[in-house]
Chains A and B, each alone.
Chain A
């Protein structure tokens, strides 16, 4: 029992986090930057930060992750990191020839007060940024928010620096897909096109973080949103932001900067959320939903019908990032399951309200925990008090799943011990089918494993 120290009684521990249910901002900023074509992300801080972020992203996506670091020394901590960053910008353009460098800060550079706007303009003045190339930044202090906040800040930074309103509207819709898998971004594009929407998706990590084996190591894989297209996002008719925590800030920035009106939707995970997404697309293109999409939905409903007898009233604990949790909660309710514990380490104002809305009046006993001490230790304590039939979350859930012997479905970030999550979408109808299949398999495998011989049955 790795977690044998977990007690059922919850104690006060304001100064302490045990086994966190989140991580820090810069890694989210790095992931967002990878969704821009020919972009080299850069970590303005100590070398260790960048190494950890690259390792963690590599473990999850199983792809090479390229990024630079300002490699702070004691001198930079005292005198500021300007010299390091200027040098890094020169070197990176010379050696790696990116079209854009996306700098994010760290707790160290934030605390010593480096002014990124000033440093970047100094780099421009001194001719360190070749013509036609870009350097952008996002402030991502690690002691505020979480990795999702960092993602959101970088997407907002991308808009702040690159989006322009040329005065000529383009017949297109911006879609900000949120922190989802590359496969999810691809699926969002497929559906948007099928719905007749000329979409401008950014950031887009498909074909970057799920690049095919070609026999070559592409330093800049062919995917990623082209800078030109991001620039044109200021001319789009509207913006669809998927997932408020990850995508709303950028959508609002576009509204403010370029007067592109926006609509924020929950992530299209699960049947009802996907319906809303398809509907939003339909409103924009004005076309009827194509038959094959209706069929995908129909197959999902058919599958849920086939499964519903097994899901009825099962108690589920879930943890992870707010946007994923809200839509997942709604989907579980659709499946007639009971999400009883919902935990995120990411702070944010509307989370509880959103979850309550997703729950409706279906699970009055649901407990929602958020922020600093909403960690895996607390979730474990809740489960110890009253058990659940299923646990859904990232790889870190495996300790609880093993100690408490609970069926476990991996979902979210990071997944460090399996392969496949980055290739198969969980968004939209097909994604929902995959999720439902995974959930049912986890529950049934467990039932098979535990059944005494006389009730171990061929048909279930």
Chain B
């Protein structure tokens, strides 16, 4: 999932067909060039393969696909069943790699071996095999890698543009709009910027440990966090790049002067409305609470699927008293909180959308089904517009809840 945005690599799901079918082009991770990542390739393991093993099939499928598409690298995703039947995926990958002359990397993503978090780690391990295999010649000392942005709706392009305007070279975007050759030389960057801390933290830590590249945790959502990310980065390069702090301040103030008048308009209309947030990672939840506050909205419920204890303590501090904080919730609990707190907006993922609508509550997808970029300063404006459009939609006046509010 984390690797799939690498657009010039081949992504082969080794397992029964379903595993590939459900992941086929559902993430909206945009590429400015190759689109190879958007096709669905599967070894389509069947009953006989489960008995006899799928290694031969895997080797054959890999060779055929590499000949057909000439990718820069190939990733092979192991599914549950591969872990059980005991295919030596690594050996097959080594053989094919030697034969075809491109990196062929196994990703140990067997479903039963843990949660999403472990899958992220497996992805980072695969990336670590690539990083360091390219030449770092010509890379500026004022350079970063962007980690943990997947270029949903083109977000990485916005962020990249900011850094370039500040005079910072972006070596690799990992993995949004990613390219194999960029990742191979990513160890030449002076700093790693890590967003979506859940998925890419392991890679950042490893690169610090093994290559001495420091990292910073950043978020590109909301005005405060976005500006903070740029200032932090500028601060890091202040010695090497004179004037960078000034350039950054100019950039931020220019961006703000463009969006603030419109944000203020939305804020007037949204002031006092209530929001609930339930997202994958806690770090994103922090940003959303701050961004909603910017719009004058109160976050009355907030939670995440993979947050750690210290994340929740931070959330508790960030939120107002009375805010419900939930961890790894279930639909029953979520819908009862939404009703109890009389929220106007729910921010969640694909499975939560219809629950919100059933309750007569507006919804905003802050997961991979977002269709407008929500990152960066422009993203904040998009976010404000999207939130306003759903919260103020006339459809809610047709629902029992809306009718009640109209009466009161």
Contact = CB atoms under 8 A, between A and B. Distances in A.
Interface in B320-355: 330-332, 335, 339, 350-351, 353-355
B359 A56 contact: no
A24 interface: yes
Nearest to A66: B331
A46 B24 contact: no
Given A2-B38, A24-B18, A213-B399, A108 B81 contact: yes
Interface in B276-299: none
Given A5-B69, A48-B111, A214-B358, A17 B18 contact: no
A294 interface: no
Interface residues of A, number: 65
A64 B348 CA distance: 13
A62 B358 CA distance: 10
B80 A106 contact: yes
A74 interface: yes
A47 interface: yes
A387 to B, nearest CB: 22
Interface stretch (A137-145, A158-166, A173-181): A137-145
A20 B21 contact: yes
Interface residues of B, number: 63
Nearest to B350: A55
A215 B399 contact: yes
B357 A213 contact: yes
Most buried by B among A52, A58, A147, A215: A215
A95 interface: yes
A456 interface: no
A279 interface: no
Nearest to A217: B335
Contact of A2 (B35, B56, B69, B79): B35
Contacts of B331: 64, 66, 217, 219
Contact of A214 (B38, B112, B113, B400): B400
Contacts of A16: 41-44, 60-61, 64-65
Nearest to A2: B35
A372 to B, nearest CB: 6
Instruction: Identify whether the interface residues of A are mostly helix, strand, loop, or mixed.
Output: loop
5 nearest CB pairs, A to B: A24-B18, A46-B111, A215-B400, A52-B22, A15-B60
Interface of A: 2-3, 5, 13-20, 22-27, 45-49, 51-56, 58-59, 62-66, 72-74, 76-77, 95-96, 106-108, 111-112, 141-144, 146-147, 211, 213-219, 345, 372, 396, 416
Given A14-B60, A217-B355, 11 more contacts: A23-B17, A45-B112, A107-B16, A107-B45, A107-B79, A107-B81, A112-B84, A142-B81, A144-B47, A147-B18, A217-B335
Interface of B: 15-24, 26, 35-36, 38-47, 49-50, 56-58, 60-61, 64-65, 68-69, 79-81, 83-85, 110-115, 330-332, 335, 339, 350-351, 353-355, 357-360, 399-401
20 contacts: A5-B39, A15-B58, A16-B61, A17-B17, A17-B42, A19-B24, A20-B17, A24-B16, A24-B21, A25-B18, A45-B111, A63-B354, A64-B354, A108-B80, A108-B81, A147-B18, A217-B331, A217-B335, A372-B46, A416-B26
